[in-house]
Structure 1
Amino acid sequence: MSAVLPPRLRPLLRLSLMLSLSASPLFVSLSYAEDTTRRSYQVPAGSLSGALTRFAGLAGVNLSVDPALVSGRNSSGLTGEYAVEEGFARLLQGSGLQLQPMGEQAFMLVPVPEGSSLQLAPTSILATTDLASGDAYAGGQVARRGSQGLLGARDFMETPFSMTTYTQEAVKNQQASTLGDLIASDPSVRTTNPAGGRYEQFTIRGFSLFNSDVSYNGLYGVLPTYTIDMEMADRVDILKGPSQLINGISPRGSVGGGINVVPKRATDKDINSFTGTWASGSQAGGAVDIGRRFGEDNKFGIRFNGVKQAGDTEWDHQSVDREMAVLGLDFRGERLRLSTDIGRTERDTDAPQERVQVAANASVPSASDVRRNYAQSWSKASTNDTFGTFNGEFDLSDNVMLYGGVGARKSNHDFLRHAVSVSNNAGDFSVQPRDFTRDENVRTATAGVRSWFHSGPVSHEVNLAASHFYMDFENGGARYAAAPSNLYNPVQTPTPSRPTRFDSKVYTENTFSGLALSDTLGFFDDRLLLTLGARWQRVKVDDWTDNVKGATAYDEEKISPSGGVLFKATDTLSLYANYMEGLSQGKIAPSTSINEDEIFPPFISRQVEVGAKYDAGAFAVTAAVFRIKQPAYETNAGSRVFGPNGKRQNEGVELSLFGEPLKGLRLLGGVMYIDSELTHTTNGTFDGNRAPATPKYNVNLGAEWDVPTLEGLTLTSRGIYSSSQYLDQANVKQIDAWNRIDVGARYAFKVDDKHITLRANVENVADKRYWSSAGASDDSEPGLTLSTPRTYLLSATVDF
């Protein structure tokens, strides 16, 4: 779905500040371009003035522009091969402006005469993407632009936050079937639940992120609660730090960052793709991707993605059966843009693994000695999610846009599971079967207005948005008689048949409301961008146990200020800083505590961050220094009571690298360092200790190399490292540092008119067993996550 985008930084070359602020025509004098043939260009979306300036500079031509003609106008940018005039025509499409030659390699921008129409010259496009897809950066693994909720979509060089946007190409080449597979490339993000478990969960900058807090085209709570299939994603935006200003309060109150999944859209080129997959064990399946545009000017689009995969995994008696179907429809008119997405996912897992909890008097188990699946063969997880969204944008004028979206989800979850709590150094634990059901209903909506204008020499982008989120869910279940087992030598126990007791029915309603206002002010021809904003948030939670109103319900509200500043020091270097503050829903006591389902009051988190971004064209480097504060929670090892205990502060440094620094060599990775400290704990007992489940270092580096002697062949590799982590606030129990090496290859070729890509990846080549996570430091259910054994992935994609 197209979107009108915020102002582009406009580094007009050889232009004085006085001229830039005057009303007289601008004349950008640029070097003469000797090569007038088609060339490859990458011009990010943004203000029309900025897009034209960038293209003119890359093409080496002179362009005279009257500021009044382009003020408040925007361009969707371009990516592909163009001659000079056809590139300008693409950028000017729908603007009512056209190019007028003024001599050799010189042009002037003029209005289209009344009664005539602007014709778009035929193009040879290397990569056609819908505006929502963003322009792929060099190397194709990361997009230049990402969605920023209230602030719209922006180029990463114009964003006063730390953000990475992974493309559909990255998803395909990693053979990522779930969100957890994809985020393995990001050093700021880690998975904290077993790959063969009931659900996925992550940390960003050391703080928990649940699937419930992953947005879908900017709407929270719409995507499946437990596992998100990647075949539905056109791109994935990962924003680091509290994001309440731009996205509003999330259902589970994640503060370390946010993830947004952007749905696929039909492109101007027909899409017909089939992918067959196989994974070690006996996982086999297929995926289809079909897209069409039709109608006058291809205004209507339809995109369908379907998946079916089933079979055994590498673990004993474990199997996964998953199905996904997502249909996306869109309309792109001159001023009106609409889209809707309807999806259904089903996932059935036999013998899903759980995190391993460690009793107070037991040592951390040896991960290298865990060679069999400790989950019982009768345990299972069944999740079913049906969801849909509708989004729209309407341009009231060239500088005012209305936008909005609504979404809904209905989910039914049924688990037969057992906790794994090791009670001694021998690895013994008690299998206590539990039947657990959860039914969820979500309704969410957002609406806003965005306006661009100037007050003297200062540009403004003002955003006003309201949001509403409602979710109700009911938990129930039953308990069964316990039986002994062992982590190292699992014992098959009888299938549960007669409950020993039934759990209470717990019904909860969450209602979150918000109203946000922001203004991005541009100074010095938008080289300096200042974003100021605030969001009023109301959090209302009610709960009932067996139809009896709970005592821990609450209704609270707060105004959270945020702001960011970005300075484009040069055409290739941006410096930024931000302060973000947000209100989060209170934690809920987990099933492993004796005060299960108790709801705690909402809390406030705060982040300060400064950073720099360098765009060399072929590759980019970003750096950030940050500090995040929020309350700390724990389940007391002795009393088993869950609750707050002090505060935690994460101070860290991030360094990221992506792009194609050498022809045929692509890099993607980075380093994150975190100093996570506990303060104000009860009686100062744990003050100064490192927060649990937070490694000091995360390192990721992926590389792709196109073999020059065999066209179409690419070799890939990836290394992942995390340093040691503590399991408890006392810093007594600790897991070792770990590293993982993945390798792979792909071969792309053509048979007749069919494009075929074969992919082969091996994850955890050395087949190491290690604890990859100690949970999450602010998580209600701490526990050890066992690494995934060596896994082979094969796929063949046919595009026709």
Structure 2
Amino acid sequence: MPRQHPRLASSISMPTLCLVLGLSAVPELALAETQPRHFQIPAGTLSSALTRFAGQAGVSLSVDPALVAGKQSPVLSGQYSVQEGFARLLQGTGLQLQAVGTDSYTLVPIASEGAALEIAPTTIQSLQAGAALEGERYAGGQVVRRGSQGLLGSRDFMDTPFSMTTYSSESIKAQQARTLSDMVASDPSVRTTNPAGGRFEQFTVRGFSLFNSDVSYGGLYGVLPTYSIDMEMADRVDIIKGPSQLINGISPRGSVGGGINIVPKHAGDAPLSEFTASYASDSQLGGAVDVSRRFGDQDQFGVRFNGVKQAGDTPWDKQSVDRQMAVVGLDFRGERLRLSTDFGHTERYTDAPQERVLVGALAKVPDADKVRHNYAQKWSKARTHDTFGMINGEFDVNDSLMVYGAVGARESNHDFLRHNVPISNDAGDFVVAPRGFTRDESVRTAIAGLRNWFDTGSVSHEVNLSASYFYMDFENGDTRYATGNSNLYDPVATPKPGLPTRPSSSTYTENRFTGVALSDTLGFLDDRLLLTLGARWQRVQVDDWEDGVKGETAYDEEKLSPSGGILFKATDQLSLYANYMEGLSQGKIAPGTASNEDEIFPPFISRQLEVGAKYDFGRYALTASAFRIKQPAYETNAVTRVFGPNGKRENTGLELSLFGEPVKGVRLLGGVMYIHSELKDTLDSRFDGNRAPATPSYNVNLGAEWDVPTVEGLTLTARGIHSSSQYLDQANSKKIDGWERYDLGARYAFKVEGRDVTLRASVENVLNDRYWASAGASDDSEAGLTLSAPRTWLLSTTVAF
């Protein structure tokens, strides 16, 4: 896990009579005060050390600045309770801790009278949990304060000069999320753009496309499965808004609207043994196991296993899904060395997977409410196998210098028998053109870097230097068969494909991305003003061959991309920030629906400017941001069917988000995103000023949980999701209506013979509305309408054993 060196809002050396340090405590802290935890606080001024410790411990500390002025603190490296940690930091200072309330303390001179807190002697232990702690969760446990930020390490969201939300494993369980598409449904900045019963997952972040290939695993791109990511392997989900090339490097498919990082599961301090039995309508039954243990005389070795098997029919006729996953995480916690390795295998089999609906030039937008049956042919299928793994390591050279590195790999085999759904008229007729498609992928990726903390006078520095390498080769096989006819509203069964009508062809592609990044976060005014300056040099190399003949679209380009961010902690609760980021992204690839299928376009540059504010109320938080992102626009010409660039698009937007527990027993999670997406510099200025396709003006999410006061352990849940209308094309000649989805649920936690049991029940799309959830992905090759999932029941029981 990344080493934590937080820069918290409070500072004891400011010229005020009393300053409140740290965070409002979570309910579990009363127990945590007496239980050892793992801390890593470098030597330095006493004010800085107390600030860091209070933030990591999640307590409040009020201090007279005069008491700590000029005092120094030793290194704190080991396992301590909250009280023991403070005692160690205060040793030899003439000060001691005094409780002034629940999870609140002050410092007093040892000679002063009063109810000073007596601290028993403690034995210093080596740092077994590594230098990083999982950040404290906001009340209710849905959102984590601290998230992984690639080059910049792990930071509290209040110290981050960009928008970011980290969802916890508790949130994943509460939503009964099976895949990443289920999990991101809570975020207003993210939308799923492929059918739930489809071959693959794809998303938009701030209106720009993000493929599964661009989802990182422990900070490494390309390691996770290409088409679907099971949530049972995720400990946390980091969602970063806006271009993230500085902190994460260039992504395999060139996403610019944001990034998603999956944090792998590793063994915690307490043993864990859980089994979850699940049901999803129509008749999907499954079981998942989560087991972890620590070993060694100081619990320095950890192992965690997660496995899942779920199979059965979905609510759509003819469709079934069978998914399997097994992931093992091993870790070592030494005094200065931390190592972890994660490896896994997933398989997914889908019969009759749904495709996006393509609307022809002479057809109107079909009526989603009339689509009552699965329009995919019974013989269509999707088979995916992914085997992956990675190794991470960190070593503290000394108290102010850390080196780190990671390597990862993946081998994947995919086999599809599918057909597009191109509606040609208002009646919903389309031609079924069967296509056999295979894809074999091989990925090798690595990062290495160092992180150095030091001061120059009154200015603190956190310097990060890293180098990255990503290699992926893949081979696509393509076979075509005789066509048939069907209808969107009244599907017609066509014969299973027999002999090919066109010889099989293959395309082989190699991608190599290399980069070097350097950043420095400078802290002024006792770290109340943080300035991050950085740049990443990136090189993109792409080569391709078709049936052994080298293609003409290969390229080798490089660019130095500067980025910067500034954050000012106006108060202990309020952070104001601004950032500018730009990055090089891999060029788009023409889709299978285009006449120039698989043509690779040159890299492009994206740019973002953002300003925002974050207010931390302790038990909950509010964030607001305004952003502008620019990049080239792409389209498939409606007449020629040629895919290529056409002008530029500019997304200007506002985001508001809320998470936490504003009222005890009531938790909220959601927000609003507004986007004004405009096309510019299109061919002959034909579409200038039009709205970019597949981009709603508004996304609204609001989820709520209520702990029923009269029934201990019972929680009722509800969620509403809304997206406004979207255009299908750059001409803005066709559009889909806005839509709403409502979910309801409940969970009940209790004990049976001392064992924890949790029952969960929820229903998604309670009203069983049928609507077009997306008009595709506005900035890439995958256009088409995404049909909503019908009413879906989810049931699960988790038992600790």
TM-score normalised by the chain length of structure 2: 0.92
For 2:85 and 2:484, how far apart are their aligned partners in 1? 69
Map 1:300-311; keep pairs closer than 5 Å. 300-311=301-312
What is the deviation of 1:752?
Answer: 1.4
Q: Which letter does structure 2 place at the counterpart of 1:247?
A: N
2:60 aligned residue: 58
1:124 aligned residue: none
Change (3 A) 1:520 1:502: same
For 1:49 and 1:440, how far apart are their aligned partners in 2? 49
| 1:52–1:88 Cα contact (<8 Å) kept | no
Map 1:207-286; keep pairs closer than 5 Å. 207-286=208-287
Q: Could you report, residue by residue, the CA deviation over 1:391-425 in whole angstroms, capped at 9, with x for unpaired residues?
A: 00000000000001000000000000000000000
Change (3 A) 1:335 1:359: same
SS in 2 for 1:171: helix
Change (3 A) 1:379 1:98: farther
What is the deviation of 1:62?
Answer: 7.1
Q: Could you report, residue by residue, the CA deviation over 1:101-155 in whole angstroms, capped at 9, with x for unpaired residues?
A: 648664689xxxxxx995279xxxxxx9994643211221000000000000000
Change (3 A) 1:59 1:561: closer
2:399 aligned residue: 398
SS in 2 for 1:314: coil
| 1:202–1:208 Cα contact (<8 Å) kept | yes
1:333 aligned residue: 334
Map 1:508-547; keep pairs closer than 5 Å. 508-547=509-548
What is the deviation of 1:86?
Answer: 3.6
1:428 aligned residue: 429
| 2:13–2:526 Cα contact (<8 Å) kept | no
For 1:754 and 1:423, how far apart are their aligned partners in 2? 59
Q: Which moved more, 1:685-694 or 1:291-300?
A: 291-300
For 2:131 and 2:285, how far apart are their aligned partners in 1? 31
TM-score normalised by the chain length of structure 1: 0.92
Q: Could you report, residue by residue, the CA deviation over 1:619-657 in whole angstroms, capped at 9, with x for unpaired residues?
A: 100000000000000000000000000000000000000
Map 1:619-768; keep pairs closer than 5 Å. 619-768=620-769
SS in 1 for 2:647: strand
| 2:10–2:19 Cα contact (<8 Å) kept | no
2:165 aligned residue: 164
For 1:102 and 1:220, how far apart are their aligned partners in 2? 47
Change (3 A) 1:278 1:38: closer
SS in 2 for 1:454: strand
Q: Could you report, residue by residue, the CA deviation over 1:266-314 in whole angstroms, capped at 9, with x for unpaired residues?
A: 0110000000000111000000000001102110000000000000000
| 1:45–1:51 Cα contact (<8 Å) kept | no
For 1:29 and 1:683, how far apart are their aligned partners in 2? 60
Q: Could you report, residue by residue, the CA deviation over 1:52-108 in whole angstroms, capped at 9, with x for unpaired residues?
A: 35569725577955767448x6889x9xxxxxx941425788x89788764866468
Q: Which letter does structure 1 place at the counterpart of 2:466?
A: A
2:113 aligned residue: none
SS in 2 for 1:783: strand
2:451 aligned residue: 450
Change (3 A) 1:691 1:66: same
Change (3 A) 1:289 1:107: farther
| 1:99–1:107 Cα contact (<8 Å) kept | no
Q: Could you report, residue by residue, the CA deviation over 1:163-205 in whole angstroms, capped at 9, with x for unpaired residues?
A: 0000000000000000000000000000000000000000000
Change (3 A) 1:525 1:359: same
1:6 aligned residue: 5
For 2:588 and 2:86, how far apart are their aligned partners in 1? 48
SS in 2 for 1:780: coil
What is the deviation of 1:29?
Answer: 9.4
Q: How many residues align?
A: 766
Residue identity over aligned pairs, in percent, reads 68
Change (3 A) 1:57 1:788: closer
Give structure 2 stretches of 5+ with no counterpart: 42-47, 100-106, 111-119
For 2:54 and 2:462, how far apart are their aligned partners in 1? 20
For 1:39 and 1:98, how far apart are their aligned partners in 2? 27
- Identify which of 84, 89, 104 aligns with 1:89: 84
SS in 2 for 1:511: strand
Change (3 A) 1:227 1:603: same
Aligned-residue CA RMSD in angstroms?
2.7
SS in 1 for 2:266: coil
Matched, 1:419 2:420: yes
1:549 aligned residue: 550
Change (3 A) 1:61 1:609: closer
| 1:163–1:237 Cα contact (<8 Å) kept | yes
For 1:663 and 1:103, how far apart are their aligned partners in 2? 29
Q: Which letter does structure 1 place at the counterpart of 2:688?
A: D
- Identify which of 97, 119, 122 aligns with 2:123: 119
Q: Which letter does structure 1 place at the counterpart of 2:84?
A: A
Matched, 1:39 2:43: no
| 1:48–1:75 Cα contact (<8 Å) kept | no
Q: Which letter does structure 2 place at the counterpart of 1:8?
A: R
Change (3 A) 1:91 1:240: farther
For 1:549 and 1:535, how far apart are their aligned partners in 2? 30
1:590 aligned residue: 591
SS in 1 for 2:505: coil
For 1:16 and 1:140, how far apart are their aligned partners in 2? 35
Q: Which letter does structure 1 place at the counterpart of 2:250?
A: I
Change (3 A) 1:623 1:92: farther
For 2:29 and 2:761, how far apart are their aligned partners in 1? 35
| 1:9–1:525 Cα contact (<8 Å) kept | no
| 1:89–1:99 Cα contact (<8 Å) kept | no
| 2:162–2:579 Cα contact (<8 Å) kept | yes
| 1:4–1:74 Cα contact (<8 Å) kept | no
| 2:20–2:62 Cα contact (<8 Å) kept | no
For 2:629 and 2:426, how far apart are their aligned partners in 1? 36
1:113 aligned residue: none
| 1:89–1:120 Cα contact (<8 Å) kept | no
Q: Could you report, residue by residue, the CA deviation over 1:551-594 in whole angstroms, capped at 9, with x for unpaired residues?
A: 11000000000000000000000000000000000001111001
1:150 aligned residue: 151
What is the deviation of 1:702?
Answer: 0.1
2:15 aligned residue: 16
For 2:571 and 2:314, how far apart are their aligned partners in 1? 51
Change (3 A) 1:352 1:12: same
Change (3 A) 1:130 1:429: farther
Change (3 A) 1:780 1:10: closer
For 1:502 and 1:65, how far apart are their aligned partners in 2? 79
For 2:131 and 2:456, how far apart are their aligned partners in 1? 33
For 1:244 and 1:166, how far apart are their aligned partners in 2? 21
Change (3 A) 1:117 1:149: farther
Change (3 A) 1:616 1:120: farther
| 2:234–2:263 Cα contact (<8 Å) kept | yes
| 1:98–1:118 Cα contact (<8 Å) kept | no
2:103 aligned residue: none
For 1:61 and 1:183, how far apart are their aligned partners in 2? 41
What is the deviation of 1:477?
Answer: 2.3
For 1:74 and 1:495, how far apart are their aligned partners in 2? 68
What is the deviation of 1:39?
Answer: 3.3
For 1:581 and 1:101, how far apart are their aligned partners in 2? 48
For 2:133 and 2:484, how far apart are their aligned partners in 1? 53
SS in 2 for 1:331: strand
1:378 aligned residue: 379
Change (3 A) 1:361 1:354: same
What is the deviation of 1:799?
Answer: 1.4
For 1:718 and 1:574, how far apart are their aligned partners in 2? 29
For 2:688 and 2:488, how far apart are their aligned partners in 1? 33
1:577 aligned residue: 578
